[in-house]
Amino acid sequence: MNTKHLVLGLMAAALSSGVLAANRPSGYVTITTEGKTATVAANTNVAFGRADQFFYKVLSGSFTCNEATFGGRIGGGVNECSASGSSGGSSSSSSSSSSSSSSSSSSSSSSSSSSSSSSSSGTGSSSSSSSSSSSSSSSSSSSGTGSSSSSSSSGGVPPAGLMGFAAIPAFGLDTTTGGAGGRAVKVNNLTDLRTLTDSNERLVIFIDGTINMGGMVPLRSDKTIMGLPGAKLTGGGFEIYKRQNIIIRNITFEDAPDDSLKINQNTHHVWVDHCTFTDGPVADPEGTNHDGLFDITRQTSHITISNNHFKNHNKTMLIGHSDSASGDTGYLKTTIHNNFFDGTMSRHPRLRFGEVHVFNNYYLNNVTYGATSTMEGKLVVEGNYFKNVPFPTLVGYAESGPGDIVQRNNILDNSGAFQTRGSAFDPASYYTYTVANPASLPTTVPANAGVGKIDPWAATGVAPF
């Protein structure tokens, strides 16, 4: 047998045994290869890539498996297109291709078992005890800041308190579980933090004390970042680029010159809860030394922002990169609920193109505006309380064209009138939710929003160490 035949034989054996299943995410079925066309059922989650790195898109009907369709490709070999679960699909190319669609891989959901062994890593202690959420094993791998790593979550249930877009299935994930089921680690310095957040290991990372970030720090998939009492990240924040399945809770983000959280480039399933975002004790009303607190851009989707306290800042939250980023249409699905926008001036949020549900938030002294929808964005503003807000909602803003705004069941207290347009969308078509009486929000939201309101150990299911 010559070398070429030997290699082909080994590849065929590997395919039949599932060794090369990394060319599709776990639980996906290969339907065609790069450059060919295929047909899928309506609203099918399709992955494009190879070697555990993928771009995701929701597609219907016929499409071409190429870079133009998915907005990028993975170098080093031929990319594949695969569909989630049993939705499958058919290739319309007449050329021969391997029938790997019959070897779909399914990720089994294993219940997490706790272990009492512990180890030391740098100055941060770590524990191999795992949390009680039913998350699956991770098959992520990395290529620098290349494309998204793959992570599967089979049969997972949302953590207590999570609702909205981050809780529901999309792009091959059942819900957002973060690092549940992974190793638990405590860190108190930037070196260890950066090493852990930039790894592919499923982790629950506890922040202990104050860490100066020195700018933006990369955060990869399958992570829970949980602050212990007094946890604070200053001088920067996290950049989440082409990642998925991340939870960030109970942390104060302070004095970031760029963004505190930058979530972009096809990232999905992120939950940010019970955090405090601020410029710090020195006021910067013009934003001279600070950019935004929170950016969600470039086909990112399925984000929930809940129970946070935003204060002492100008431009709070941007959803949608620019007026020219029309590719964000159908993405940027974000739920914003029970947050305290405390004297922040604008962008709560500023929306372009996406679908955003804003409910049960308390807006106080927001002097520029509350929320705005531009560039055909779809914004539902429901059951909120606006106090001393001259412009609760704006249709269009500055040079950006108008978007839809639906408002219902809100309270205006010494505030201006709503601007509305169109029908936006129906959040209940995606998930179930309950709107509290907005009259209660000036009391309930400040009492519950921000850091120090949850038990970090109980919230992660990890025993204190």
Residues marked active site are found at 347
Cis peptide before 464, with omega less than 30 degrees from 0?
Answer: no
Buried b (16+ CB within 10 A) or exposed e, 38-68: bbbeeebbbbbbbbbbbbbbbbeeebbbeee
Strand partners, 211: 233
Contact 418, 393 (CB under 8 A): yes
d(Cα 398, Cα 29) in Å, to the nearest integer? 46
Contact 171, 268 (CB under 8 A): yes
Instruction: Say which amino acid occupies 290.
Output: H
d(Cα 161, Cα 453) in Å, to the nearest integer? 13
Strands (E) in 353-408, as ranges, are 355-359, 362-364, 371-374, 378-382, 385-387, 393-395, 404-408
Query: CB-side exposure of 351: number of CA atoms within 13 Å?
Result: 34
Contact 246, 135 (CB under 8 A): no
Query: Which residues, at least 6 apart from 432, have a Cβ–Cβ distance to it below 8 Å?
Result: none
In DSSP notation, 98-118 reads --GGGS--------------E
Residue with tokens 């964000």, as numbered in its chain: 328
Strand partners, 83: 29, 46
Gyration radius (Cα) of the chain, Å: 23
Measure CA 449 to chain center. Answer: 20
d(Cα 206, Cα 226) in Å, to the nearest integer? 5
Q: In 10 A of CB 206, how many CB atoms?
A: 27
